Every structure is written in C-alpha cells, then in structure tokens.
Amino acid sequence: MYDCIIVGAGPAGGTAAYHLSKRGRSVLILDKESLPRYKPCGGGVSPAIAEWFDFDFSPAISVKADTIRCTWKMEDAIEVELQTPEPVWLVRREVFDHFIVKQAQKQGAELRDNTEVTSIEFQSNYWQVHTTNGIFRAHYLIAADGAKGVMAKWLGFTQRKRRLAGALEAEAPAKVDRTNVIDLEFGMVNNGYVWNFPKADGYSIGVGTFIGGKAQNFKKIIDEYGKSFNLNVNACQQYGHALCLWNGEQTLHTTNAILAGEAACVVDPMTAEGIRPSIFSGLKASEAIDKALSGDINALNNYSNILNQEWGSDMAWAAKIAGLFYRFPNIGYQVGVKRPNGPQIMGQILCGQLRYSDVASQAIKRLTAFGS
C-alpha cells in the first residue's frame, strides 16, 4: 500500500513524486512508456522553476536562449536580446522529464515504466490500480497522464473546462549556428504561430493553433518554414499532438485523487507554454496530498482553489489577449510584437518575471484600439 500512486512520468508527475518522496511519503510512478521516452515539444522552460527545487538542472538543459527573433510571413523581423537574469532554458523532453524522475527516485520514489494502467477502482479508503504488470494500491492518486490520458475520464472528470488545440512538430538534426536564438513566426498560420527552438544538435520546429478556426495544412506550413533555415523537415519524423489549454475555473479533485499537468488543462492559451504550469501543478499536488495524508480533509479542495487562483486567474487574462491577438494577428504583430519592448515582455512572462495581469490592461487597450 503506497501513500500515493502517480500516473504519468512527465514534468507534473515527476515533480509531485520528488516533493512527496522528499517529505517521506511512499510513492509509485507508473508510465506506459519505457523511460527515457521521446515527447514532441519545443522544449522551452522558464528558469523560474528552479526556485521550486533544491537541485541543479544543468545536466538536463540542452542550451540557453537569451534572444527572441520574431517575423511576419518570414519578413519584417525584429530581434531582441532578453534582459532577464537567466536565459530561457531549451531542453529535450526525453532528457528533462527523466532527469526529474531520477531525482525523485533518489528520494525513494519507485518507478514502474512500460506499465500501462488498464483500470482503476476505489475501495472504501484507497485506490486499486490495475496495470499490464499487476495490481497496485495507494491511499491517493495523482493523474498526470497528459492531454491524451484516460485517467481524468475514469475519475469522473467528463465535463472539464478545456480547449483542445493542435500542434505539429519535427526534430531536425542540424548544425546550429545560433543556439541562443528562439525564432517565432506569426504570419504563416492562422490563430497561432510557428516556432524554431534550437538545441545543441538540431532544431525543434513546430506549428500550432490556439483558438480554433478552419483546418490548415500544418505539414505544408512547417515544410515551408523549415526551408528558411535550410532544413528539409519532410525528411524528419513529424509528430502531431493535442494541447489542453486552460479554459476557465474548474474542479481538479475528486475522492482521494487530483489532476495535474496537461490532464488538468494547465497549458497557457496565449503561448501554449506547458512545462512550467505542469511543474507548478505537480508541486501543488504534492503539497495537497501530503496534507491530506496528515489528516487535512480540505487539502484536495484547496488544491483546486490554489490552481484556479494562482494559475487560472492569470490564464484568464492570457485568454483575453490571445483572443484579440490571434484574430487580428497583423495588427497584433505591429502594435504588440514590433514594439521595442514587445518581445522583451514576452520573454519576461516566459521567464516568470511578469504575469499577464501586469500587462493585460495596456495590451488589450492597444489591440482593441487598432482593431476597431
């Protein structure tokens, strides 16, 4: 009988496992894949996450980017060096995610990878988890199995407030000329953007849309974008995946169980940033489970409140800005991105120095004024 079973070994699950194990709780991590496993992702990580851990992330960071370059239909470029204390971290998810899990294992957490959960059932005061490698039991569950995971549905979260978005990504091996530059392109896709995040040995190129609209030929867009960097993206394996964007206040707990990471729909609706909010949810999930194990009957309910107040309230502002920006992207690019401090503000938000609430009023005012 474990104190907690965590389903999913991504950033949310690994973070929750680390902090719960560090508090002396018995933890089992289950993941259907064999670790380390590839995860399509640009891999941009806010250095602000460092304050939530007491170990050095250097071994898990591929490169650090201190410059953002933005374009509109591959022209009208603006390049800005970020004035942040620490550059944006760029990681490969198979390395980064497994690194956090290994830190959790050092604290005593157990890992059963290549172990798919097939069903769950609550037995009076504990969860019984059936898997392809046996049955496991725990007093509490954390569902951190991602956007496509089944745990939320099995736990009864059938009416989640989420907005599904789509992305297509490719990893392109290449000699990288400038590993410190993140490229963002806003004119080639409707209701989203195209990105190129460098790594030490190649590029993570992707395209995504975040507020719906007509279907678009992502493969054609990503191929055209890749050519601008002398890359043949068609020769690379391409990965399509869903994103669960935050879409309003929601309940994230049920009997002896909570949702974390993309299963909790924590992804930023403006930028599609998912790693930092997933880690934040994993941190808060660990605190909630620890308090519940100590007898706090309100701990899980408080977890939902904390996520809604400390993350969701700012995401409401992000959604308002995104709704205007992506509907009038040419205007948004001129009055937002092309402003001297536009990319700087984007970098500060990504690095955790600013919140959307700090800039929303002015941003909405400018977008509305030029869009009317």
- Of 194, 217, 243, the position where a domain reaches its end is 243
- Residue 148 forms part of a structural domain: yes
Do 26 and 106 have their domain in common? yes
Residues 256 and 221 in one domain: no
Q: What is the pLDDT of residue 369?
A: 76
| Strands (E) located in 37-161 | 44-45, 63-65, 67-72, 75-81, 88-90, 110-112, 117-123, 126-131, 134-143
User: What share of the chain in percent tops pLDDT 70?
Assistant: 98
Share of the chain above pLDDT 90, in %: 70
- Here the tokens at position 210 are 């975040």
Answer yes or no: do 295 and 311 share one domain. Answer: yes
Largest CA distance in the chain: 62
Mean pLDDT taken over the chain: 92
pLDDT digits (tens, 9 = 90+) for 97-147: 999 999 999 999 999 999 999 999 999 999 999 999 999 999 999 999 998
Domain count, the chain: 2
* Interval 187-203: pLDDT, tens: 999 989 999 999 999 99
Query: Based on the domain organization, do 115 and 233 belong to the same domain?
Result: no
Q: Is the Cβ–Cβ distance between 315 and 265 less than 8 Å? A: no
> Does 221 fall in a domain?
yes
Q: Is residue 37 a part of any domain in this protein?
A: yes
Within 10 A of 354 (CB to CB), how many other CB atoms are there?
Answer: 16
The domain that holds 135 is classified in CATH as: 3.50.50.60
Q: Are residues 55 and 111 in the same domain?
A: yes
Q: Is the pLDDT of residue 215 over 80?
A: no
Same domain? 233 vs 117 = no
The last residue of one of the domains, among 243, 266, 292, is: 243
Identify whether residues 47 and 150 lie together within a single domain.
yes
**pLDDT tops 80 at residue 54:** yes
Helix (H) or strand (E) holding 328: none
CATH number of the domain where residue 233 is located: 3.30.9.10
Rounded CA separation 236/257 (Å): 39
Confidence of residue 370 (pLDDT cuts 50, 70, 90): low
Q: Are residues 236 and 197 in the same domain?
A: yes
If asked whether residues 115 and 222 sit together in one domain, one would say no
Its domain, for residue 225, covers: 163-243
188 close to 72: Cβ distance less than 8 angstroms: no
324 or 120, greater pLDDT: 120
Supply the pTM of this predicted model.
Answer: 0.95
Q: Please identify, among 243, 277, 309, the residue that sits at the C-terminal boundary of a domain.
A: 243
